[in-house]
Each structure stands twice: as structure tokens, then as C-alpha cells.
Structure 1
Amino acid sequence: MSDDKLDVLAFAAHCDDIEITSGGLLIKLVDSGHKVGACDLTAGEMGTKGSKEERLNESQCAAKVMGLTIRENLEFPDAQLEFKREYFMKMAEVIRKYQPHMVILPHWEQRHPDHRICSQLGQDACYFSGLKKLDLPGEPHRPHKIIFSTYYRTMALPTFYVDISQQFERKLEAVKCYKSQFDSTPESKQIFHPGTDIFDYIRTRDHNQGITIRTEYAEAYIQKEPLQVDDPMTLKVRSV
């Protein structure tokens, strides 16, 4: 079991979500020596472009770029995610298998139903994975910390920002693994704002978030519980 343990495990609804929303943080954690893994709930097979096999292969390419220890796909049906026991119990199995200290989930309020459901499923999976009498393989385990990416939730007020200036270009390289999704065709420029290149969008958004904390690039996250600060004298980012 000790060889399987991860420090951090990120869940997402589709292949490529993790790279776009949390790729910089995941790479930074790997750079710091942490064992980091990812678990996609679907292969994104209902997307306009790319086959299931292509997207699964692309996700493994991106995992290598980010330096992930493992990447799994539960192959739940894309565009049909529901909040049901079968799904969060499978996610709880993954949590028991890897015993992560921290789990990263998408924000719980999002336009895309699969992203929203993934967050709800993940939160319940983190709880049920710790029940000793639950009939699941593996040792009971609850992550110490759950944080939520705000990337697809523009109006969310972040709890904290992570400086990813040193990791940003590698984040883009990970996203570029998804050649079936992000090419030069007109369809690729309809994902966020019509006519906007996905890579320009990511660069602009991460740069704007970086400006907030006076760095070049950053990603924004939320935690639901209060943030403890033991020594306010060590807080970064000038007030004036």
C-alpha cells in the first residue's frame, strides 16, 4: 500500500479538464517532490471532436508532461453523469487505493452539468471512503484537505492563489497534448469565447490571476473551511 500512496489526487469530469484548471498547481507540487495523481470520470467521448481512444491516449501524454505518478479513468458515461451511489463509491475506492493527503475537485457551481456533478460526487466520496464498516476494498481513509478549482467559475471568490509562473509553459504543453480538441479549426475557437484561441485564453486568464498576487501567472482555488494562519507576519502579497 505504501508504494501506491499519493500526496495529492485530482478528480475531473473529462480528459483535459485537469490540465486547464489545475495543471500549473499539479506541476508545481511535482516539482516540490510530491507524488501527484489524477482520475478522470469520463473519456469525454460525447465531445464534438476526437474519439474515446484518442482522448485517453492524449490524457496519458499530458500526464507525462505534468510528471504525474498515476492517471486513471473510471470511464463513466460522458454527458450522463448523475449524483448516485454507484459513482461516488467507485471514487471512494480510488481514494482508499491511493490514500491522498489532499484532493482537488472542480467548483461545485458550474455551467457544465458533468463538472458540477463531479464536484458533488467527489465531496461525498471523500467522506464515505473513511467509513470503517463500509464494504469497499482498501483501508478506510479521508483526505485531510479538499480544495476546489475556480477555473470554470468566473464569479467565484478565491480563498487563495498559487503562483505558477515557473510552471505555466509546461501547463500549456500538457494542454497541447489534446491535439484532437485544440487545433486550428474554427470549432476549437468556440470553447470559451467565440473566436478565441484556447491557449490565448488560458494565458490571459492565468496572467490576470497572477496580477492579483503580483506574479506573472497564477491559478485560483477555494477551500470551504476557514484558512488558519499561524503567523500573519509571513503572509505574502503587499497590501499597499
Structure 2
Amino acid sequence: MSADELLPPFPADAFERVLCVVAHPDDVEYGTSAAVARWTSDGIEVGYLLLTRGEAGMDALSPDEAAPLRRREQLAAAEVVGVSSVEFLEYPDGVLEYSLGMRRDIAVAIRRFRPDAVVVGSWEMEFAGGMLNHADHRVAGLATVDSLRDAGNRWVFPELVAEGLEPCSPRWLLVAGDEAPTHGVDVTGAPLERGIASLEAHEQYLAGLPWHPPPRALIPRFTAEEGRRMGVEHAQLFRAFDFQAPMGASTE
């Protein structure tokens, strides 16, 4: 790949606060958490919003048993990469349905955290090299995209302003796992190690998946593939939408 074809990093001053919105505990940890580790080490504040508690994700445990366990493991995973702001909603795991209520809840989180950038996973049927995407992931991604406009419009969910939540319009939408990435984050070295450790923090969840590769074998493989597209050893790639870019301008 020629130098002209390599994906660029984000500008150094692109954002100061980032909110990651995902469906389940562990969703951030499949590569994105290495980018989070890089961001927090650079002084960027990162928060997580999880739409479910992952209670349907462990065949050997009932939802009532799984939910608190997965919550604990997610909090530990977030701590590894420097994230202390972690919010869990209680939408039902495995059967997420797009709704106005979900859009409102995500808009509330955006207005509270007031990020410059919001990170989501792909809402496409296929992602990351042709894998079939989970239905919950698709719902979470699409609802979050729509919530970005809700968060910035005082006349959508107008009761939020009365509750002291003024509109907030993040500049950036960053989509992980998109087939057409535009930017990358170099996670070589310590960020990658912390990203691996963050997935390892889901110890009991992963123990129930005997087919699952060890995080130390899995994550570097992904990040090395993405690093080649950025010209570095390891990277996490995103498709970036810059809502302050001139009309018709490319984010590349």
C-alpha cells in the first residue's frame, strides 16, 4: 500500500470527550478498547453507555445471575483502559427493538456527557470482513445515529430542556467495524496491551465460550490487519463522519 493510500490518524485536537454506545458488556473490548486506552492516555475523557446488561449472554447462568456478573466484568474492563464513567440501561438483552424511548435515553446520555465524538458499532447486516452482525448491534448503532440529531434539537423530547439537559451536538460520529474506514488510531504498544487486558477482564463470560480464541491471540490479529491500512504495527480503524465539515467535503 502506497503512502497516499494509507488511512490518516485523527487530528491531534479532534476531540476531548468521547462517548461509546454499545449493546452489551464486552462489545467495546473487541478492538475499540485499545483505541480508548490510547485516547485516555492522551488525556481524552471517555465514557461508556451500554443499552443492556448482557443478561442473556451466558447459557449456564440465568439472566438474574448473569447480569450482575457481566456488569462487574464490564466495570473492570473499563477501568483497565482508564474509563470510570460507565452507564447501564436495562433494555432486554438479545431482543433489542428500535424505539423512540431508546432514542430518548441515548439522547439523555449524550446531553449529560456532552461528548465531541460518539463511537458506535456498525448497523449493517455484515461487518468486519463479512461476519453477520448481531441484531442487538444493528439496533444499537442505528438508534444511536438517530439520537445524535435528537440530542442537538431542543424541540425533540422538549421535556429534557425543562430537566436541565440543554441540547448537545457532537461533532464526530465514529463507526467501528465499518467496511469503508476513513481514519485510524495507532494502538501499538501499551494501548494494545491494555486493550487485550480489557477483554481478558470478561473472564467468566469467556470461560463459557470454549470455542473463543484467547484475547491475546485474537485482538492483535485484528489490530495488525488494520494497522497495515494505516502504516503502523497495530491500529483500530473507524469510519468518521465530521458534522462540521463543509457540505460535500470528504472526511478523508
Q: Structure 1 residues 220 and 188, CA, compared in 2 at 3 Å: closer, same or farther?
A: farther
- After TM superposition, give the deviation of residue 165 of structure 1 in Å: 0.4
Match of 2:225, SS state, is: helix
> Deviation string for 1:7-38 (max 9, x for gaps)?
11000110010121410111111111111111
In structure 2, C-alpha distance between the alignment counterparts of 1:67 and 1:180, rounded to whole Å: 21
- After TM superposition, give the deviation of residue 228 of structure 1 in Å: 4.5
Q: Given the two structures, how large is their TM-score scaled by the length of structure 1? A: 0.83
What is the RMSD of the two structures over their aligned residues, measured on CA atoms?
Answer: 1.8
- After TM superposition, give the deviation of residue 83 of structure 1 in Å: 1.0
Match of 1:60 in 2: 75
The question of whether the paired residues in 2 share the 8 Å contact of 1:207 and 1:218 is answered with: yes
Q: Given the two structures, how large is their TM-score scaled by the length of structure 2? A: 0.79
Kindly indicate whether residue 188 of structure 2 is the aligned counterpart of residue 165 of structure 1.
yes
Match of 1:157, SS state, is: coil
The question of whether the paired residues in 1 share the 8 Å contact of 2:107 and 2:151 is answered with: yes
Aligned positions of 1:72-87 closer than 5 A: 72-87=87-102
- What is the number of equivalent residue pairs in this alignment? 213
Match of 2:159, SS state, is: coil
AA at the equivalent of 1:143: P
In structure 2, C-alpha distance between the alignment counterparts of 1:220 and 1:34, rounded to whole Å: 18
In structure 1, C-alpha distance between the alignment counterparts of 2:197 and 2:251, rounded to whole Å: 34
Aligned positions of 1:1-240 closer than 5 A: 7-49=17-59, 51-110=66-125, 111-133=133-155, 134-136=158-160, 137=163, 138-150=165-177, 156-166=179-189, 167-183=191-207, 187-190=209-212, 196-224=213-241, 226-228=249-251
The question of whether the paired residues in 2 share the 8 Å contact of 1:25 and 1:162 is answered with: yes
In structure 2, C-alpha distance between the alignment counterparts of 1:80 and 1:86, rounded to whole Å: 15
In structure 2, C-alpha distance between the alignment counterparts of 1:178 and 1:228, rounded to whole Å: 35
- After TM superposition, give the deviation of residue 162 of structure 1 in Å: 1.5
Higher relative contact order (CA 8 A, sep 6+): 2
Match of 1:216, SS state, is: coil
Which consecutive unaligned segments of at least 5 residues does structure 2 have? 1-15, 126-132, 243-248
Percentage of pairs with the same residue: 26
